[in-house]
Copies of this chain bind each other. A is one copy, B any other.
Amino acid sequence: MEPVANLTRKEQVIRKAAELFREKGYAASSMRDLAQKLGIEAASLYSHIKSKEEILQSLCFDMATEFRKSLDEVERQKGPASEKLRRGIVGHIQVMAKDLTASAVFMNEHRHMSQPFLREFLLLRINYINRFKDIIEEGINSGEFKDSIDKKLAVMTLFSSLNWMPQWYDPHSNIVPIDLGQKLADMLVNGMKR
């Protein structure tokens, strides 16, 4: 019997680690801290995970997969570039909102991965960003967006705004993630339109 809503012990370890890494940063988090949060001894962690870095890797690559899937879905649909961009933004926000803790780790701690994992991770991220850049370019070519906009600047501003969100968004606030995504998309996409 596999767990359904419940988490395996390994998943519990990873989840608690994500909270710890988010709070203190990866390098400042010790395996003894993590063990204490779980109420076990540090050495016992290693029956569930291979290493501290393995936890970071699984957090980062799982998030990367979610982001990719969300954008796949957006690209499958037809419509003007501005609409695609809006849906891409809303999707990105929703993926983050599903796990703000992992998102914060993904964003701020990925650099602590060793090679070749870091390299692979950065390639995934560049690819994802380029797909957004392509949508912006499509919008410029179709005349939806001003041709005066600086694509690199636009896409960097976009991701800055999106990626900082786990740092200030309060999941208990009265604004729900999908509305937040819509509002963010309004602010960011409208600035590009003719």
A interface vs B, CB < 8 Å? Answer: 25, 27-28, 108, 111-112, 149-150, 153-154, 156-157, 159-165, 168, 175, 180, 183-184, 186-188, 190-192
Contact = CB atoms under 8 A, between A and B. Distances in A.
7 contacts: A28-B112, A150-B183, A153-B184, A160-B160, A164-B164, A186-B191, A188-B191
Contacts of A165: 156, 160
Instruction: List the number of copies, as a whole number.
Output: 2
B153 A187 contact: yes
Looking at chain A's contact residues, is the secondary structure mostly helix, strand, loop, or mixed? helix
Contacts of A168: 156
Nearest to A25: B27
A155 to B, nearest CB: 10
Contacts of A188: 157, 191
Contacts of A163: 160, 164
Contact of A160 (B28, B153, B161): B161
A130 B146 CA distance: 32
A17 to B, nearest CB: 16
A184 B154 CA distance: 9
A97 to B, nearest CB: 14
A70 B95 CA distance: 37
Contact of A156 (B25, B108, B164): B164
Contacts of A164: 156, 159-160, 163-164
A16 to B, nearest CB: 19
Given A163-B160, A164-B160, A165-B160, A154 B187 contact: yes
Contacts of A150: 175, 183
Residue from the set A180, A187, A188 with the largest chain B CB neighbour count within 10 Å:
A187
Given A153-B183, A190-B191, 6 more contacts: A25-B27, A153-B175, A157-B188, A163-B164, A164-B164, A187-B191
